[in-house]
Every structure is written in C-alpha cells, then in structure tokens.
Structure 1
Amino acid sequence: MEETIPGTETAQIAGQIPQQRGDSLPETAVRYAEERHWDVFPGTWLEAVDGVQRCSCGDAACAVPGAHPARDDWATQATGSATVARRMWQKQPTASILLPTGRTFDALSVPETAGFLALARMQRMELMLGPVTLTPDRRMQFFVLPGATVKVPDLVRKLGWSPASLDLVALGEGSYVAAPPTRFGARGAVQWACRPTPANRWLPDAEELLSPLAYACGRER
C-alpha cells in the first residue's frame, strides 16, 4: 500500500509518496553511507515518558523531538564510512539519521505546498531532480550540488525577488537535514518525495531548480 499526502491539489499532481517500511534506522544509515556516499551522524531519539514520546534531549518543549543533533560537535562526528556508521548506531539503535549539508550536497528548503507545486512544474519541464525529502513539519528539501548557499541570494534577485521575501532557505555548511525514516515525535516520519535512485545520483545545480522553486514560493507568499 502507498499513501498520498492529503490536503493540497499540488500533492495530487505530484503523485504518491511511498510509506517508509522495512529497514531499521541503523541499516538505513549504513546504506546511505555505503550506497550514496553521504556523510551521516546519529541525532537524538524518542523515549517514552509517562506514555508520551519525548525527545532524548530532555526538553519537554523540543521543537523537533527525536530529530536534531545530540552533540555540539556533530559536524566532526559525521562519517561517510559504513563501518563507522554501523558502530555509532549500535550504541543507540533508535537514534535519528541526520545528514550534514555542504559536503556531498546542499539542500533547498521550501514549504510543503510550494514544494509540491514546484515539483509538478519541474516534472513537466523534464528537469533532472535529485532526492527530495518531505518532513512532518511540512517542509520539503531538494538536494542539489554543494555551493547553493553562495549562489541562491543572487539568483533570487536576478529572478526579480528579494531573498527576504521568499520562504526559500539554502542549507549548506554547518546545517543538516533529517533523513527517512527519522520521526519527529508524534508528528510522523520524514519521507522521500523523490527517492534516491541510480538515476538521480548526479545532482542538479541549484540554478537549474531555482526558477520553479522561487515561483512556487512567490505564489505561497
């Protein structure tokens, strides 16, 4: 069975997003390092406290429970070694899977509805797409080649927008994204809007995707 993301017309246009099933968090983290050559690092995890899923960080009001770094030195902890990744998740098998940006990829983060609108337009334009995630806090991250954080502000201005006017964020060095099947507390799991496949191993440049993304974010505004 597959599930659609309800509530928007653009979700129906973009198609269905498969549910996450099968592999455990440790197995998936190892596969990301081994098959995609992505750096990975374990984040926080969920713990049952009085029948409620709470973040291991101990903050009852945590904004992203179970889906943020557990250590301040997470950037140096991140590894592209499947062997090291396996060892790290053996210590805490329920830890979230986090991927640092600014290394093998950057990410363009937009609101969910804008992301689906842009995704449908990109498919009509037959643009090459990399992996795209959909998070329970209703945002989508489009994976692109590193260097997006430097390029995006000027590219947005050339399209006639002020960077501050659009909810379009480039995530590069010093940032990270949560990878499927990481859960955000009770809100659900991160999913793939576009799964990693052999066909999208080569990522697009931010410039190739920016026009449909900026247009969609402008409509959302």
Structure 2
Amino acid sequence: MIEAAVRYAEERHWEVAAGSWLIEDDGPLRCSCGDPGCPAPGAHPTTRDWARKASAGPGVVRRWWTDNPLASVLLPTGRAFDAIDVPEIAGCLALARMERMGLQLGPVLAVPGGGAGTAGRGRRLVFLVLPGSLPKLPELLRRLGWGPGRLDLMGHGEGDWIVAPPTRVGTFGFAQWAREPTTLNRWLPEATELINPIAYACGREAPLSSPVS
C-alpha cells in the first residue's frame, strides 16, 4: 500500500487520501468504520474533511501509511482527473474499440462492485479523463441520443473519489489497473473523445434501454 500511494504522489503528482481499512481477526472480515452494513468495506474516506486533507506530497503520504499501513488508497476526482465509470463488460468492449480507433487513452481502472457508488453493481471499468468532464456528461449523452438514466454510466468529479490499486474492497476483490499509469498515458483525454465508444458499448449491454427520440 505504501509503495503504491507514494508512487501515485511522486510519479503522477496525484493527490492521495488514506481511507478506511479491513479488520481481519477471529470474526468475519469487517470495515474499520464499524458499520456492519458498510457498502464499501475498507475502501472509503474516514472523515468529512478527507478531500481537504488529501496530499500529493510524497513525504506526507509516506508518513500516513507508515502510521497505518492497512489504510486503503483513495484518489480524489475533480482535481488531476475526472472518471467515467461503466460496467466491466461494456468497458472492455469500449476499450477494445478505442484501441482499434487509435484513440489516446489515459489509465483505466478495474474495480470490484463495492467502490464509490458501485456497491452491488458488479465489477466496473473506470476511465480517467481530464478534470471538468463531469458537468458535460449529460449533454454529451443527450447529443448521442441517450436520456438521463438510460445507461449504466457514472461520472466521478469534484467531491468524489476512486479506489486505487492495490486496495481490497471487502470480499468484493481488489482494485487493479486495466491500463497502468505510464509515461505514455500521462496526458489524459477529454471526455468528448471517449464518450461515443463508451456510450455505444453501454448501450449494447443495456438491451432494455433505448435512445431518446
């Protein structure tokens, strides 16, 4: 955890926040928050002012995980990046199509169905895009013919977060990189560049949904 958290801050200059953690003892696996019904056990902020405390300082980050090596690694959205979050099957379909099209892609995250806003939704793929994208998503989708709530597609922006590898989310599994952060994908794409193939893939996986007329 400490190596990953410091690397995000040091190499990508991403702000990092230390989240809750999993407690394993003689009883069942549980979240440090103490809520037996926690929707994201071991993978959510622990204080209301978590976003204000997030830091991209490697020394600060290292000290946090030295003090608590079990803390989950959270990345605030709406700062260095926003995120577009879709079901894993649709995300893989969109990712393959984007690669064939030669589109510039940023890092892509694969998360279990227990991260921010994803409890009970199954595994997800999360595409990192330039910040400021979240407010544009409804209009971008409308132009493509998709009304509000028609697609299983979520945006994460200011005030939200994503769970970063190698964080484990309860019994759901571990966050992993489908496309790791590298020097080749340091420059993130605009949401407008990716939304067409992403919406198309989500539409294919939502047979009961139909474009607006």
State the TM-score, normalizing by the size of structure 1: 0.87
Find out whether 1:100 has 2:72 as its counterpart: no
SS at match of 2:188: coil
Aligned residue number for residue 148 of structure 1? 133
2:24 & 2:149 partners in 1: Cα distance? 40
1:96 & 1:108 partners in 2: Cα distance? 21
Aligned residue number for residue 19 of structure 1? none
| Correspondences of 1:128-167 after superposition (within 5 Å) | 128-137=104-113, 138-167=123-152
1:37 CA drift (Å) = 0.5
AA aligned to 1:169 is M
> Runs of 4 or more off by more than 2 Å in structure 1?
49-52
1:193 & 1:56 partners in 2: Cα distance? 28
1:42 & 1:207 partners in 2: Cα distance? 31
Find out whether 1:80 has 2:56 as its counterpart: yes
Aligned residue number for residue 9 of structure 1? none
SS at match of 1:186: coil
Find out whether 1:191 has 2:176 as its counterpart: yes
1:180 CA drift (Å) = 0.3
1:163 CA drift (Å) = 2.9
AA aligned to 2:85 is S
Find out whether 1:35 has 2:20 as its counterpart: no
AA aligned to 2:71 is A
1:126 CA drift (Å) = 0.9
Find out whether 1:61 has 2:49 as its counterpart: no
Q: Which 10-residue stretch deviates more, 193-202 or 180-189?
A: 180-189
1:119 to 65, 82, 95: 95
1:88 & 1:106 partners in 2: Cα distance? 24
| Correspondences of 1:172-187 after superposition (within 5 Å) | 172-187=157-172
1:126 & 1:86 partners in 2: Cα distance? 37
1:195 CA drift (Å) = 0.5
Q: How much is the aligned-residue C-alpha RMSD, in angstroms?
A: 0.9
State the TM-score, normalizing by the size of structure 2: 0.90
1:163 & 1:132 partners in 2: Cα distance? 24
1:52 CA drift (Å) = 2.3
AA aligned to 1:167 is D
Find out whether 1:211 has 2:196 as its counterpart: yes
SS at match of 2:171: helix
Q: Could you give the per-residue CA deviations for residues 152-190 of structure 1, whole angstroms, max 9, x where no partner exists? A: 111111111113211111110010000000001122210
SS at match of 1:214: helix
SS at match of 2:145: coil
| Correspondences of 1:16-27 after superposition (within 5 Å) | 25-27=1-3
Specify which structure has the higher proportion of helix.
Answer: 1
1:117 & 1:127 partners in 2: Cα distance? 14
Q: Name structure 1 gaps, 5 residues minimum.
A: 1-24
1:59 & 1:111 partners in 2: Cα distance? 26
1:49 CA drift (Å) = 3.8
SS at match of 2:158: coil
Identity of aligned residues (%): 59
